Structure 1
């Protein structure tokens, strides 16, 4: 069976990927789960193709997860792998071999490999939530935590104006609000009192210091938040969110959208966010931003394996920029 998950909303796409993986493990405790992460230099297409060939009529069930193949693999190699996939017998309907292609961004739709997956695979796209969809997600998530909680429309709009469509941040703040209120209607006063829009400001300041060559200040700001008891994973999600925002703004800027209103219109970001970020993207190239984003994604993956402390990984990240 061939599955394809892709899009910029990493919270929902990773949630779906983990759900599929857990369901497979629960039903097939003794079966194999293989992961090929093409953002890592150790992953290669030969090992991936060999894992497909190792499946046969009397083999155990197998789940193969392929991470960021389209983003990281040269087009010529993609074409070669695509030819091999097309020769794999009954791949789309094989119940004993499940291959999940996962892309942590929006792939280029003109790629032959994308067209193949989009046509042949069971697919699900995860665009960033906006407007009503974002408010609706927030309300449903709060009710999942506690059915006794409610929001007015204006309160929800205020909350998402603080968090934007960063679902990691929104989830954190919803859990805090629900724990505080426990039941009844969460008010705008509750949101203003508890939601820390200030952490976004701190992360913005840290990245500004980093781009300005002041690594000491960037490290100091990070550790100030950690000493206040902030979750390192939460901090990582904020750095990822901020760099992704800068990538959108930088890309729009290179397309000729040089004013905040023009950038806001193209990207869907708030004009205030676009205006505030313009000074940062003028000090760093789009290519450099892409590399920084890849490093943060790598840290996100490494932190989940538990091989190294996330705080240490964040320190190394800041020192390496």
Structure 2
């Protein structure tokens, strides 16, 4: 079950006795946990009925024992076990011994007065382990993984609805263009825009006015202006970044990274790889591959290799003291505007 489905069930009052949450998106884990607490304990509920353990510090038997204990002055309690690495193959320095049989017995017959939440903030699970298999069979499993495009749109709409506002499709797309899939930043910007528009809807103009571009988006713009031979606009962005105390060497590294991604995406696309397959192959977020796929037709592979070599030469010239780094990047941008072959 994905995060959005789990949130929907919570809103419908469907609470499971055991949740197993795994994945790398800390924001989703924290957000779901908070909604669960509000649903089970209530915003005015006793903190004594929310007990949190860390798996590397506390035997799992104590967490199970707590879940089996009656709530204090209430009808429900939530027991949270963080960093539940028993479902992974990673090695740890913890000297705590756990009786996982106690846990597997509990999840087969959980207490109706408690909700046990096991949090594993990892991308991959060890499917061979008995506890992993048992949790996947008996518990409500929630994947806190990076969103694809469809889930991102749903999430933004849900966030807007929660704040009592609406956001246009175009505004939602522009927001993702500016911030990418950083959920914490997106949530913060949505909160800011909601306060600004009041009961009105969020439009593209509102996004343009209130949401600043990220550094990565500025690098995208630098490349776009340069390859379109709009040097003046590229230099304006570059000098704005210098005023923001961005190091030219850092900008150079980001430019080189972007050209490398373009080159790899173009090559794999020629081999008929799908965007999802490319993302897996290059270990990139699917959205990064989507953006790159929309841009690679501006270049042929020879041009991309030329730009990568120019970035390497510029890096060497700066680090060997042959040229000032601010001037070096200006010259690189000028070189990029001189010739761009497309195919």
TM-score bracket for this pair, using the shorter chain length: 0.5 to 0.7
1:314 counterpart residue number: none
Residue by residue, what CA displacement relative to the aligned partner does 1:123-161 show, whole Å, maximum 9, x if unpaired?
Answer: 2223322212212321332233233x441x233212111
**1:145 matched to 2:163:** yes
Residue by residue, what CA displacement relative to the aligned partner does 1:207-256 show, whole Å, maximum 9, x if unpaired?
Answer: xxxxxxxxxxxxxx9xx89xxxxxxxxxxxxxxxxxxxxxxx9xxx9xxx
CA distance in 2, matches of 1:176, 1:72: 41
CA distance in 2, matches of 1:138, 1:14: 17
Where in structure 2 are there 5+ consecutive unaligned residues?
1-16, 219-240, 246-256, 269-276, 297-307, 309-343
Cα offset for 1:117?
Answer: 1.0
2:51 counterpart residue number: 34
**1:52 matched to 2:64:** yes
Instruction: Check whether the contact 2:67–2:116 (CA below 8 A) recurs between aligned residues.
Output: no
CA distance in 1, matches of 2:179, 2:278: 17
- Shift of the 187–64 alpha-carbon distance from structure 1 to 2, 3 Å rule, reads closer
SS at match of 2:187: helix
4+ runs deviating over 4 angstroms: 54-62, 71-80, 199-202, 260-264, 272-275
Where in structure 1 are there 5+ consecutive unaligned residues?
203-220, 226-248, 280-321
* TM-score after normalising by structure 1: 0.54
SS at match of 1:129: coil
Cα offset for 1:100?
Answer: 0.9
1:189 counterpart residue number: 205
Cα offset for 1:119?
Answer: 0.8
Instruction: Check whether the contact 1:6–1:102 (CA below 8 A) recurs between aligned residues.
Output: yes
- Shift of the 110–175 alpha-carbon distance from structure 1 to 2, 3 Å rule, reads same
Cα offset for 1:269?
Answer: 3.5
- Shift of the 92–12 alpha-carbon distance from structure 1 to 2, 3 Å rule, reads farther
- Shift of the 65–201 alpha-carbon distance from structure 1 to 2, 3 Å rule, reads same
- Shift of the 200–104 alpha-carbon distance from structure 1 to 2, 3 Å rule, reads farther
2:227 counterpart residue number: none
SS at match of 1:270: helix
2:152 counterpart residue number: 134
SS at match of 2:174: helix
Higher Rg of the two aligned structures:
2
